[in-house]
Structure 1
Amino acid sequence: MESQVVYEANGTPNVKILPSPDTEINGHIPNGHTNGHVPNGHANGHLPNGTTHMNGGLSPHQSPHKDHHGIHIIPRSPRLGTPHRRQYVPLEANEDDDELGEFRQGGRIACNEKMMEDAVMEEEQPPKDRCYIVYLIMALHGVGTLLPWNMFITAEAYFTQHKFANVSDDTEYKDKFVTYLGIMGFVPNVTFLFVALFFPPKSSRLTTIISVNVMLSLFVLTTIMAVVDSSGWPKIFFAITMVTIVLFNCGAAIYQSGLYAICAKFPQKYMQSYIIGQGLGGTLCAVIGITTLAAVGDLKVAAILYFACAVIVLFMCVVTLFIMVKMPFVKYYLDQVKETSLEEKEREAIEGERPPLLKIFRDIWLQLYNIWVTFFVTLTVFPSIMVMVAPTSENMAPFMQKFFIPITCFLLFNVCDFLGSCVPAWVKWPSAKYTWILTTAFFLFCPSFLLALHRLATRHLPVFLNDWAYIVVVIAMGLSNGYLKTIVMMDGPQAVRNPNWAGKAASMMVLFLVLGIFCGIQFSLAFPPLSQIGS
């Protein structure tokens, strides 16, 4: 449609509208009205003094309603058939021309603002996680975070009773292997978490991908070393194993910190999915350990199966990580934070500010306390204290007597931990400000296990818990640990005042998580002397 303004002899403007297939006027115009029936000659609802806003098909036999105000005409692009310009055409003037001009200007502004808001809302709609693919991938990476290291711990008998069993000249490898395993595992883990927190990499996605590939390569090497006979060079094998553990935990620290930072930018349920995966990883490790112990009598074959399972899981993590970072859902949230982070960095460069670690600490210090306490208590009793608990019932089945520790310590605890991490999807603690009440009460599990069946042969304290009461305590602790760690890790990154700090807050949470593990393992060394009080 084409329009032409014609001035009468007295100077009054008028409009001549020429129908055309290239013109689109908003809405069907029944009875000469725009957008349906409009009382008092008003268009588009309650607009004062009336304004016609048309955008739809106009056939040649139709004509717009002409009043004393004007119409919005949107010519269409001849090639694309889409609106490309908005024109305002006055029809006629009268004595209210000044007031009418003000309204016309306001009408155009309001209309443009509404269109811009609609366009922004349409553009900002996040892509859907189709078939929950990203949710499942995050659960898989939760498994990949803990299962490989748990396989190292599960295969402890393979190292002490197979690889170093025949080394008669130096028993230090066998007697202190678990101690070296803990030191070489947690020291580089904590160190690299500090480095990642204060000196973050330019591309967290790239470092996460590199770290998981390093972990995969090291476990392939470990599997090969399990096949090779190293009885003639135990010192070299011990050195290779320790170097492998150090490098593996360096990569695991970067991998775990990067995944927590990624989850912090997604909706909360994806953080829960990642933590559920960690609980599932512990459960799978326990199942594999019990199965191989029952079906395979050879420690070497069992160790090869352990390490092969870890290789398969890590390979799946590598493949899915490459797929995940290219998915529209993931790119939307990561690129959204990246754009706002660039603005934040520009502001910090102008104001001369460093990354606000102190501000982040002030925002989440309570959640840092919660996550530290949760893992401190858990690692105080699991597994170092629970593996020393022995059954007392004489009527227990032979199978349970043989597998009492693997079932109660590893399988039962990990299954309950997994179930506890699923509970926040339905029942969540109402306020993150008061989660400290639950985590502080979590300390009560330490004396509970001290009063259980711990070190029966050497203890002097009385035993207050029988076999079944001990199993109930294990179930309660597993459920509590899974629930608490999930809600704390979900609430922590959300507690910062600036959403762009969520990734950094998640890295800080992981650091305190690992510190809780380290402190709990050290405190567990005090339990054996405490059990002998009264001697």
Structure 2
Amino acid sequence: MKPRKYGSLQMTIIFEDSQKKELDMSNDSQSAIISTSEENEEDERNVPKDRMNLVFWIILLNGVGVLLPWNMFITIAPQYYVDYWFTVNGTKTSYADNFMSAMGIVSQIPNMIVAIINVLNIIRGPLLYRIISPLTFNSSLILIILGLVIFQNPSDAARNWFYIVSLIIIMAMNASNGLYQNSFFGLAADFPAKYSNAVVIGTNICGTFTSVLAIVATLVFASQPKMVALVYFSISFAILIICLISWWFCKKLSFFNYYIEKGNRARAAQENTKFDYRLYLKTFKYCWKQYLSVFFVYFVTLSVFPTILVGFVPNYTVFPSDIYAGITTFLNFNLFAAVGSTTADFIKFPGPDFLIIPCLIRLLFIPFFMFSNYLPDQRSMFVLYSNEWIFFFGNTIMAFTSGYFSSLGMMYSPRVCPPELSKLAGQISALCLVAGIAAGVGFTPLITVMVKSF
């Protein structure tokens, strides 16, 4: 089998070594894969062009769409749900006290479960259908939310059912996102590396866009939470509809169809009607370093962002208090995460074998922010610094490395394994991403306990 070219001698050696270890495959499978490779060699001479990078931009757009509804939800939650719906005459109800923590629990669990189910191939059908279906479902959920925003005002009679319905919507949205995101990374794995990275860039642009919108909304609609919610969810709905239309357009592009068909042919010899654990073991053998890298990047990032960072109190700040966190925490992080992801398209260092090293070094960001002036009125742990600019640039470096190293991990994993395993490798990488987020969010309360107790 001819090794896939990736731009480095090291990658070629990986493939040559992997081919020597394929002795456990049946003769029929070997023949099928060899046949597929010969077809691919012929096809490489006539690869269609991605004219004006249309497929790249469509994938990037859908990277924005992957997280936009949820980003809008968590951004508007404190103002619209906690303060507007669940706070009465300035007094927080039990719903207000519990909503944010309940939202975190019901969001991460279904996302993780659906991602696992999708990786295990329990949900069948083409990946593209597993992308379009969640998009359609999420669009329907946003319409329901818009209906509630427009026609339902806070009242004692409505507060209980509104709380329950909101959590059900959150659960359904994140279950849908688990299928959408996991399938999306699997689909992008069939394309050249920059297309996998387009997904990561899109998710970080989504965060940047949401952060800018939050700052503008705070300045323009400071005392109008209902209007802010209407703007947020209307934008979400519009972009999801554009994402749906983009896939219809994408299916008409020869470049898109070429790589989809190429990926399907490469996997033809591996297709099974039942679960085959050997495929997962084989994929893990090639990609385990990338999986751990992706997991640790998101674990570190979500351990401190946004909860620990928002709790930092500087001695002095040059930013207005009402948009301080929006600029120093959210916009700063999302902007430089997007810059880091984009940089990975041009600079790829370190290589696949050594990416795990800087990803483990990033664990130092956890004590770095623990020893900042986080929760100054409640902490027992000593404070190492309270300077705003040390915090600001620490967040900048963490954000850049989060975007850069996560992009490298997501790009490397489908390409350090044989082509017939690339889709599965991309899906498992997306599962590691979700697992890292869930573990990081779960670790945040432990950080707070340590800061208060030690």
User: 2:266·2:419 contact (CA, 8 Å) conserved in 1?
Assistant: no
Alignment TM-score, normalising by the size of structure 2? 0.86
> Paired residue for 1:204, among 127, 147, 151?
127
Are 2:50 and 1:133 equivalent residues in the alignment? no
Are 2:311 and 1:388 equivalent residues in the alignment? yes
User: 1:261·1:503 contact (CA, 8 Å) conserved in 2?
Assistant: yes
Aligned to 2:146: 223
- CA deviations over 1:358-395 (Å, ceiling 9, x no partner): 111222111111111111100000001011111211xx
User: 1:143·1:277 contact (CA, 8 Å) conserved in 2?
Assistant: yes
The structure with the greater share of residues assigned to helix is 2
Aligned to 1:325: 251
Aligned to 2:21: none
CA distance in 2, matches of 1:246, 1:220: 16
Aligned to 2:293: 370
Aligned to 2:64: 143
> Paired residue for 1:479, among 367, 377, 400?
400
User: 2:313·2:373 contact (CA, 8 Å) conserved in 1?
Assistant: yes
Deviation at 1:355, TM superposition (A): 6.0
- CA deviations over 1:407-459 (Å, ceiling 9, x no partner): 11100111111111111122211421011110010001001101112111222
Deviation at 1:489, TM superposition (A): 0.4
User: 1:391·1:404 contact (CA, 8 Å) conserved in 2?
Assistant: no
CA distance in 2, matches of 1:271, 1:502: 11
Give the letter aligned to residue 158 of structure 1: Y
Deviation at 1:330, TM superposition (A): 0.9
Are 2:222 and 1:306 equivalent residues in the alignment? no
CA distance in 1, matches of 2:323, 2:275: 61
* Unmatched segments (≥5 aa) in structure 2: 1-37
Aligned ranges 1:121-200 → 2 under 5 Å: 121=42, 124-156=45-77, 157-166=79-88, 171-198=93-120, 199-200=122-123
CA distance in 1, matches of 2:143, 2:435: 29
CA distance in 2, matches of 1:203, 1:426: 31
Question: Which range is displaced more, 423-432 or 382-391?
Answer: 423-432
CA distance in 2, matches of 1:244, 1:306: 16
Aligned to 2:423: 503
1:453 match: secondary structure = coil
Aligned to 1:358: 281
Aligned to 1:290: 215
CA distance in 2, matches of 1:286, 1:505: 32
Aligned to 1:247: 172
User: 1:223·1:308 contact (CA, 8 Å) conserved in 2?
Assistant: yes
1:175 match: secondary structure = helix
User: 2:341·2:406 contact (CA, 8 Å) conserved in 1?
Assistant: yes
CA distance in 2, matches of 1:249, 1:224: 20
CA distance in 1, matches of 2:300, 2:92: 35
* Unmatched segments (≥5 aa) in structure 1: 1-116
Aligned to 1:38: none
User: 1:189·1:250 contact (CA, 8 Å) conserved in 2?
Assistant: yes
1:434 match: secondary structure = coil
1:532 match: secondary structure = helix
Aligned to 2:31: none
User: 2:308·2:444 contact (CA, 8 Å) conserved in 1?
Assistant: yes
Aligned to 1:449: 369
CA distance in 2, matches of 1:162, 1:391: 28
Aligned to 1:95: none
Aligned ranges 1:66-81 → 2 under 5 Å: none
CA distance in 1, matches of 2:41, 2:175: 43
The verdict on how the C-alpha distance between 1:368 and 1:461 changes in structure 2, with shifts beyond 3 A counting, is same
1:155 match: secondary structure = helix
Deviation at 1:511, TM superposition (A): 1.1
The verdict on how the C-alpha distance between 1:400 and 1:490 changes in structure 2, with shifts beyond 3 A counting, is same
CA distance in 2, matches of 1:369, 1:344: 25
User: 2:302·2:437 contact (CA, 8 Å) conserved in 1?
Assistant: yes
Are 2:378 and 1:458 equivalent residues in the alignment? yes
User: 1:391·1:401 contact (CA, 8 Å) conserved in 2?
Assistant: no
CA distance in 2, matches of 1:500, 1:121: 17
Are 2:146 and 1:235 equivalent residues in the alignment? no
Are 2:188 and 1:263 equivalent residues in the alignment? yes
Deviation at 1:354, TM superposition (A): 5.8
Question: Which range is displaced more, 171-180 or 258-267?
Answer: 171-180
Identity over aligned pairs, percent: 27
Aligned to 1:9: none
Give the letter aligned to residue 268 of structure 2: L
Aligned to 1:25: none
User: 2:290·2:412 contact (CA, 8 Å) conserved in 1?
Assistant: yes
1:356 match: secondary structure = helix
CA distance in 2, matches of 1:149, 1:313: 13
The verdict on how the C-alpha distance between 1:523 and 1:291 changes in structure 2, with shifts beyond 3 A counting, is same
Aligned ranges 1:20-169 → 2 under 5 Å: 121=42, 124-156=45-77, 157-166=79-88
CA distance in 1, matches of 2:192, 2:367: 38
Deviation at 1:530, TM superposition (A): 2.0
CA distance in 1, matches of 2:289, 2:279: 17
The verdict on how the C-alpha distance between 1:502 and 1:532 changes in structure 2, with shifts beyond 3 A counting, is same
CA distance in 2, matches of 1:282, 1:122: 38
> Paired residue for 1:411, among 331, 348, 357?
331
Deviation at 1:353, TM superposition (A): 5.6
Aligned to 2:414: 493
Deviation at 1:495, TM superposition (A): 1.8
Give the letter aligned to residue 247 of structure 2: L
1:265 match: secondary structure = coil
Aligned to 2:197: 272
2:353 match: secondary structure = helix
Higher relative contact order (CA 8 A, sep 6+): 2
CA distance in 1, matches of 2:45, 2:254: 13
Aligned to 1:102: none
CA distance in 2, matches of 1:123, 1:283: 37
CA distance in 2, matches of 1:194, 1:474: 31
Deviation at 1:122, TM superposition (A): 6.6
Alignment TM-score, normalising by the size of structure 1? 0.73
Runs of 4+ in 1 over 4 A off after TM superposition: 117-120, 167-170, 351-355
Aligned to 2:23: none
